């Protein structure tokens, strides 16, 4: 019988599943979905490949779980970043800053640069649904700000954020780019004086 590394069997399983998801996220960001094989994830987590199948019966389920894990982590960070942001404008500002920081961070950047063409149709649909869900806090803040068509505005702000991130990655000053992005967001998609 394998050695239990926690106080309870349930906790042991949570720890091992968490280790597999963490290893899978690292592989996803550095090698794309094709790097997410049970053998590679098990090796990175220090868990036998045969044991990986106890948690994820197929590679597709492994990829889906890693995508869900990545977005769950992102949602938790967004909630933490919003913290004491009281007004809708403060929430929009923090969400834009959070999005820009993620888009320029090495781990998140690798994740955001996934080629949808290498995903299966189900994985691509899941990724699109998760991305739409990730825009929900921004859409809500824009709606509270009184913006017309908050869903469309959130999509525009996201596109502007990705464009600003590309500028920073190419060498533009992060502080200046962030300030210019926020100014453009509030002059354009987040303008609520209509």
> What's the distance, CA 101 to chain centroid?
11
pLDDT of residue 179: 95
Distance between CA atoms of residues 131 and 107, nearest Å = 16
Distance between CA atoms of residues 64 and 151, nearest Å = 25
**For the chain, domain boundaries:** 1-57, 67-194
* Maximum distance among all Cα pairs of the chain, rounded to whole angstroms: 68
According to CATH, what is the number of the domain 1-57?
1.10.10.60
Alpha-carbon separation of residue 145 from 85, 87, 89, 136, 153 (angstroms): 13, 8, 7, 14, 11
Sign of CA dihedral 129, 106, 89, 87: positive
Domain 67-194 has CATH 1.10.357: yes
Task: Read off φ and ψ for residue 3, nearest 5 degrees.
Answer: -70, 135
> What's the distance, CA 53 to chain centroid?
25
pLDDT along the chain (194 residues), means of 10: 65 89 87 85 92 90 86 77 81 90 71 67 80 87 93 94 91 94 90 65
Nearest of 87, 85, 66, 81 to residue 17 by alpha carbon: 66
Q: Report which DSSP code applies to 36.
A: -
pLDDT of residue 11: 86
Q: How many CB atoms lie within 10 A of CB 159?
A: 11
pLDDT of residue 2: 53
Exposed/middle/buried for residue 45 (C-beta within 10 Å: 0-12, 13-18, 19+): buried
- Token digits of residue 125: 């649909």
């Amino acid at each position: 019988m394998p050695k239990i590394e926690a106080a309870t069997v349930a906790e042991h399983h949570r720890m091992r599943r968490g280790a597999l998801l963490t290893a899978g996220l690292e592989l996803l960001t550095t090698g794309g979905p094709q790097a997410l094989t049970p053998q590679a994830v098990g090796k990175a987590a220090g868990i036998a490949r045969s044991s990986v199948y106890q948690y994820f019966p197929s590679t597709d389920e492994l990829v889906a779980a890693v995508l869900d894990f990545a977005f769950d982590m992102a949602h938790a960070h967004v909630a933490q970043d919003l913290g004491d942001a009281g007004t809708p404008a403060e929430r929009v500002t923090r969400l834009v800053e959070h999005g820009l920081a993620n888009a320029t961070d090495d781990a998140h950047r690798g994740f955001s640069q996934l080629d949808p063409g290498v995903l299966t149709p189900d994985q691509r649909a899941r990724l699109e649904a998760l991305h739409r869900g990730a825009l929900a806090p921004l859409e809500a803040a824009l709606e509270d700000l009184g913006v017309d068509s908050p869903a469309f505005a959130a999509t525009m702000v996201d596109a502007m954020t990705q464009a600003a991130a590309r500028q920073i990655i190419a060498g533009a000053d992060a502080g200046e780019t962030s300030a210019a992005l926020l100014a453009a967001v509030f002059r354009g998609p987040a303008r609520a004086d209509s």
